Amino acid sequence: MKTEIVHKIMILGLQISLYTLIPLLAVATENSACLECHGDAAAVGESLVIEALSFDNTAHGELGCHICHASISDGHPDDGLTPSRTSCVECHDPISQEYAASLHAGKASCSDCHTPHRALGPTAVSGHDMNRQCLTCHDHADMLDKHGEWLPQADLHVSMLPCITCHSSSDQYVISLYIIKRHGNMLSGGYELASFDELSVQSNGRPIEQLVDRNADGYVSLAELRMFNLDPENKQLRLQGMITPEGVSHNFRTQDDRWDCSFCHASGPAARQVSFLSLAEPDGSYKRVPVEKGAVLDALYGTPDFYMVGSTRSTALNYVGLVILAGGLVMPIGHGTLRILTRKNRTKEEE
Amino acid sequence: MSKIKIYLQPTPIRIWHWLNAFGIITLCITGVQIRFPDHLHLFASYKSAILLHNVAGLVVAFSFSLWFIYYAVVSRTLLKTYMPSRDDLEHGLARQAKFYLLTYFLGWKNPHHATPDNKFNPMQKSAYLAIMFILVPLVSLSGLLLTNVSPMRDLVLMIGGLKILVAIHFLLACCLCAFLFTHVYLATLGKTPLEHIKPMWTGWEEEDSTEQPHHVTGSSRLPSVAAMPRTGMTTRRRP
């Protein structure tokens, strides 16, 4: 009896696996058939080439080429027909409607910002790459001037935040830590986002996340962050923190609660507990490794370059400050009490 | 007993002192809101607290320049006024500490008598030396860096990073605030609580003529106190 049940469970498991795997295998086979030509610029030309590595890892890649190019026949390209292209709205209707009501509508189409063959979610794109997208239309100097009209240290905000942190809405915001590398000398500075290849060299063949996650447990502890920052081997590397959204709305307007700085700076340390180490992948996307809760609040070496005034203050430093202030009150309170108690001595003197 | 007046605090020094005082108090209050915005809402918005903090910081830096230029260039008494002498270090500090911690309560007189040429007692000299030559410049410079993080990024990194800079600024500011408590309290230790505070507002200090019989009323260029008899000032009045 028991053997029968085990057999039935095994058969059921096999069926489920096949139902799941077969479509995936079919998609992979279909994609590779297309990419045989479209992965080679010499075969199809620069305008039609698709980077296989980056396309395969996207949600679109998982769906397969036929989902968007339904009219392609087995005779392609010899049939002479131009393959159909689906519209983004077919699948992304709510986003399309939201976008249509925004200021951007009519000024930029979906494909002006998104490459369908490289469509990544917000957590798989670096804050720097997000801004690069905006800067294709918005002039950097103009943006600095406009923000400088009302925003203190506008240059700092513009360079250290993805635009969409303030200009779109999300249910949740986290701190993303990126590894940046010095490309100049001590005086000329020149830190830039470290590429996968640069980090691979630095990690000497180990997986690059082990530059920080030393015990390779898929989790970055505060101790590991400190070790990374204090290791002389990493003197050319630093961690740059950015507040990044977990999702992105497509209304692209300045959110009301971002005008008075309160959204980021007055939220207190409780709102700045979640952070991730964000690392470059070979295909240009980013993968995340969770970081110990509250690690960015460490006083000195956790994230020495990431400090958001008002919300990443260190509790340890607060206590040290309190002790110093209490020291300043010793004279007024201690001496003052004795002064009152001994006032008669001085009154007699004046008489 | 007749009173005489001595001109103890020249106008530039008084301007500096009160600019400094209001500036530092503003910095302390706005600083608290900037660090603890989720607990304290003294000013309308976070931005206004930051702007006020930055302006007050500039005012203090400006008043510091005024102080430095006056003492170093105009009166040329910077080191004389603030640098403790050998005697101050060997005997004066202990003598003054003994007064504050013991003999004051017994009703003895302050062993130091302020004159235009010798304004500060040895403890004041040592404290002001640390405050004006180390603490205020460092807290101002760290503040200047914090208001210009992007343009001075390399300098910030050389210091060790933004957090170390913030820690330096915060802890130095706490020291300055702690000093402020002590400073204001000690300023009330005259015969009346306002006796030492008034000259910093008017410039003139009133004192009993028996204490300094050689002082000339109304003169801003008084003879050096070193030439004056100082016996009575360090002796007990009530044996």
Residue at B181 is within a domain = yes
- The maximal CA–CA distance of chain B, rounded, in angstroms, is 65
Place of tokens 């910095």: B27
Tokens of B80: 């004389």
Chain B, residues 194-233, CB within 8 A of chain A, namely: none
Chain B, residues 55-74, CB within 8 A of chain A, namely: none
For residues B214 and B207, the answer to whether their CB atoms sit within 8 Å is no
Question: Could you tell me if the ipTM is greater than 0.90?
Answer: no
Residue at B175 is within a domain = yes
A114 in the same domain as A79: no
Inter-chain touch A304–B148, beta carbons under 8 Å = no
The percentage of residues in chain A with a pLDDT greater than 90, rounded to a whole number, is 43
For residues A151 and A157, the answer to whether their CB atoms sit within 8 Å is yes
Residue at B174 is within a domain = yes
Between chain A and chain B, how many beta carbons pairs sit less than 8 Å apart? 136
CA A122, CA A80: separation in Å to the nearest integer? 38
A278 in the same domain as A142: yes
Strand blocks (E) in chain A? 173-182, 191-193, 237-245, 275-280, 286-291
A19 in the same domain as A74: yes
- For residue B200, give how far its alpha carbon lies from the nearest alpha carbon of chain A (Å): 20
**Structural domain span for residue B172:** 125-187
Helix, strand, or coil here: B119? coil
Residue at A179 is within a domain = yes
Place of tokens 């460092």: B138
Tokens of A120: 């990544």
Residue at B94 is within a domain = no
Amino acid at B98: K
A186 in the same domain as A303: yes
Distances (CA, A) of A221 to A129, A206, A225, A252, A290: 26, 19, 6, 35, 9
Give the DSSP per-residue string, A6-42: HHHHHHHHHHHHHHHHHHHHHHHHHHHHHHHHHT-HH
Does A44 or A134 have the greater pLDDT score?
A: A134
A238 in the same domain as A310: yes
**Structural domain span for residue A152:** 123-315
A129 in the same domain as A43: no
Residue at A274 is within a domain = yes
Query: Among partner residues A238, A307, A328, which is closest to B178 by beta-carbon distance?
Result: A328
A76 in the same domain as A19: yes
Cβ–Cβ contacts within 10 Å for residue A3, how many? 7
Size (chain A), residues:
351
Tokens of A36: 């045989």
Place of tokens 């006020």: B52
Give the DSSP per-residue string, B21-81: HHHHHHHHHHHHHHH-TTT---SS-HHHHHHHHHHHHHHHHHHHHHHHHIIIIIS--HHHH
Of the three residues A37, A69, A86, the one that is the final residue of a domain is A86
The pLDDT, as a whole number, for residue A12 is 66
Inter-chain touch B147–A317, beta carbons under 8 Å = no
Inter-chain touch B150–A262, beta carbons under 8 Å = no
How confident is the model over A247-291, as pLDDT tens digits? Answer: 888 988 887 788 878 788 877 777 788 999 999 999 889 999 999
pTM above 0.80, yes or no: yes
> What is the domain count for chain B?
1
Residue at B209 is within a domain = no
CA A212, CA A202: separation in Å to the nearest integer? 11
- For residue A281, give how far its alpha carbon lies from the nearest alpha carbon of chain B (Å): 27
How confident is the model over A333-345, as pLDDT tens digits? Answer: 999 999 999 988 8
A204 in the same domain as A308: yes
Query: Which residues sit opposite B206 in a β-bridge?
Result: B5
- For residue A183, give how far its alpha carbon lies from the nearest alpha carbon of chain B (Å): 13
How confident is the model over A296-323, as pLDDT tens digits? Answer: 988 889 999 999 998 888 999 999 999 9
Amino acid at A39: G
Averaged over A181-210, what is the pLDDT? Answer: 85
Chain A interface test: which of B163, B186, B207 (most A C-beta within 10 Å):
B163
The pLDDT, as a whole number, for residue A185 is 66
For B204, the enclosing helix (H) or strand (E) is strand B204-208
CA B127, CA B118: separation in Å to the nearest integer? 15
A266 in the same domain as A153: yes
Among chain B residues, CA nearest to A309: B35
For residues A182 and B157, the answer to whether their CB atoms sit within 8 Å is no
How confident is the model over A104-146, as pLDDT tens digits? Answer: 888 898 888 888 888 888 889 999 999 998 999 999 999 999 9
Residue A100 has pLDDT above 80, yes or no: yes
A285 in the same domain as A176: yes
Mean pLDDT of chain A: 86
Tokens of B201: 């507002």
The pLDDT, as a whole number, for residue B117 is 81
* Of B72, B29, B70, nearest in space to B50 by CA: B29
Tokens of A31: 């994609």
A138 in the same domain as A76: no
Chain B, residues 22-51, CB within 8 A of chain A, namely: 34-39, 45-47, 50-51
> What is the domain count for chain A?
3
Low-confidence ranges of chain B (pLDDT < 50): 212-239
Residue at A326 is within a domain = no
Residue at B183 is within a domain = yes
Residue at A187 is within a domain = yes
A244 in the same domain as A109: no
The pLDDT, as a whole number, for residue A54 is 77
